[in-house]
Amino acid sequence: MRAASVSDYRELARRRLPRIFFEYIDGGSYAEVTLGRNVADLEAIALRQRVMRDMTDLKMSVETLGQTLSLPVGLSPVGMAGMYGRRGETQAARAAAAAGVPFCLSTVGVCSVEEVAATGTPPWFQLYMLKDRGYMRELLARARELGSPVLVFTVDLPIPGARYRDIRSGFTGASKLEAALAQAWDGITHPGWTWDVFVHGRPHTLGSVAGAVKQGGRVTDFLAWIARNFDRSVTWKDLDWVRENWDRPIVVKGVLDPEDARDAVRAGAQGLVVSNHGGRQLDGVRSSISALPKIADAVGNDLELFMDGGVRSGLDVLKGLALGAKACFMGRPWAYALGAGGEPAIRKMLDTIRAELAVAMILTGCNDVRAAGRDLLDLD
Ligand SMILES: Cc1cc2nc3c(=O)[nH]c(=O)nc-3n(C[C@H](O)[C@H](O)[C@H](O)COP(=O)(O)O)c2cc1C
């Protein structure tokens, strides 16, 4: 199958990846109500078609946090990407750099921040607050030293939400024997992945935090360690601690409520990602896109506003911009593309997003993404 859209990459990833990893990427928490809403609410927004305007010149680039993005798009942090494609985070970082958009490296990436920075473009770095502050301090110093321009501080995961699909697939909660059997079966039935990732994609550790993990050999052991070490005591005051250790822009990721957005401004964040973690945390909360307008009204001029969750096309990107985002981030779309065909597939996926955004701009009469506003939407 030749992929034309994000849903095609999803299907290709479903075929190529071991079940545990596909379900881990694709799934959400509990009944997956919020996961569904993220996509459905974006789909339900109607663009306003406008015609007979000179749309010869389109401006798609934006300036944000001291950087120029050639598209108002970024790749959200996705954990364990090195299990979906060989040294997956480096492949994604290269594809993002080629497209002129930021790649944000997860705290729990398989590739370390050093390995990703060695591609030539230091990534934005995503931080989970772990209890071991000494280690966190060192990690921030490493990312800073390597030139990461922006810190993305994820605040919606003081505890991981339950993901039923991971239990059913045996990814979490399985005994060592069950996991070994499932892995062997997955290996036999997914030879492309086995050759690419299992054999040639080692080491399978969580590169940036490997030094802090005392026990465990499998990636799932690392995840279990991380889950036990999330710091639930974190408050806005801890942003001061982060700032003491990070003198570049800080983006808070995982806010859905205007009150929290105001607190983020008061705490001195330079950016905010309106996000529900792709429907992987508190199921039943509203979609990111439906939360965005109120947050834009509350704080839109006080910091750089981004959103993620459910963005599957360039048309969706324009909807996000119209409702107040400076750029829209995507998580699953690049993870699917990575699983489907590595860096070339992520590049093509980003090309597709660019082409779709161009069509959406031309047919809504928007020739500069910076001017995208609610007038592009048919909100009746
Ligand atoms: C497989 C997977 C792993 C993720 N890992 C992280 C992570 O390590 N850190 C983080 O801040 N967000 C993580 N997220 C959330 C994404 O950054 C992003 O908020 C979400 O995927 C956006 O929704 P979308 O997948 O619909 O684009 C992850 C999401 C997925 C699907």
pLDDT of res. 180: 83
Is the pTM higher than 0.75? The answer reads yes
Query: pLDDT tens track of the chain, all 380 residues?
Result: 899 999 999 999 999 999 999 999 999 999 999 999 999 999 999 999 999 999 999 999 999 999 999 999 999 999 999 999 999 999 999 999 999 999 999 999 999 999 999 999 999 999 999 888 998 999 999 999 999 999 999 999 998 898 999 989 888 878 888 888 888 888 899 999 999 999 999 999 889 988 877 665 567 776 777 778 888 999 999 999 999 999 999 999 999 999 999 999 999 999 999 999 999 999 999 999 999 999 999 998 999 999 999 999 999 999 999 999 999 999 999 999 999 999 999 999 999 999 999 999 999 999 999 999 999 999 97
Range of the domain at 92: 6-164+226-366
Task: Give a yes or no: residue 96 inside a domain.
Answer: yes
Ligand 1 centroid to 299 CA: how many Å?
24
Residue nearest to atom 4 of ligand 1 (CA): 78
Task: Give a yes or no: residue 199 inside a domain.
Answer: no
Distance of CA 331 to the CA centre of its chain: 4
pLDDT of res. 217: 56
Tell me if residue 291 falls in helix, strand or coil: helix
Ligand 1 centroid to 76 CA: how many Å?
6
Task: Give a yes or no: residue 241 inside a domain.
Answer: yes
Instruction: Give dist(CA 131, CA 135) in Å, integer.
Output: 9
Q: Which residues line ligand 1 (CB under 6 A)?
A: 24-25, 38, 76-79, 106, 108, 126, 154, 253, 275, 277-278, 280, 308-311, 330-332, 335
Tokens 């005392």 belong to 214
What amino acid is encoded at 291 in this protein? A
pLDDT of res. 229: 85
What amino acid is encoded at 280 in this protein? R
**Ligand 1 pocket: which of 38, 43, 78 to mutate (most atoms <8 Å of CB)?**
78
Residue 336 neighbours by CB distance under 10 Å: 30
In this structure, what CATH number is given to the domain that contains residue 359? Answer: 3.20.20.70
Task: Give a yes or no: residue 343 inside a domain.
Answer: yes
Q: How many domains does the chain have?
A: 1
Token duo for residue 358: 């161009």
**Ligand 1 pocket: which of 128, 277, 283, 288 to mutate (most atoms <8 Å of CB)?**
277
pLDDT of res. 216: 57
Residue nearest to atom 12 of ligand 1 (CA): 77
Task: Give a yes or no: residue 205 inside a domain.
Answer: no
pLDDT of res. 215: 62
pLDDT of res. 214: 67
Active centre residues (catalytic)? 277
pLDDT of res. 50: 98
Tokens 């940036």 belong to 208
Task: Give a yes or no: residue 264 inside a domain.
Answer: yes
Task: Give a yes or no: residue 140 inside a domain.
Answer: yes
pLDDT of res. 213: 74
Beta bridge partners of 125: 105, 151
Task: Give a yes or no: residue 379 inside a domain.
Answer: no
Class of residue 240 by CB neighbours under 10 A (exposed 0-12, middle 13-18, buried 19+):
exposed
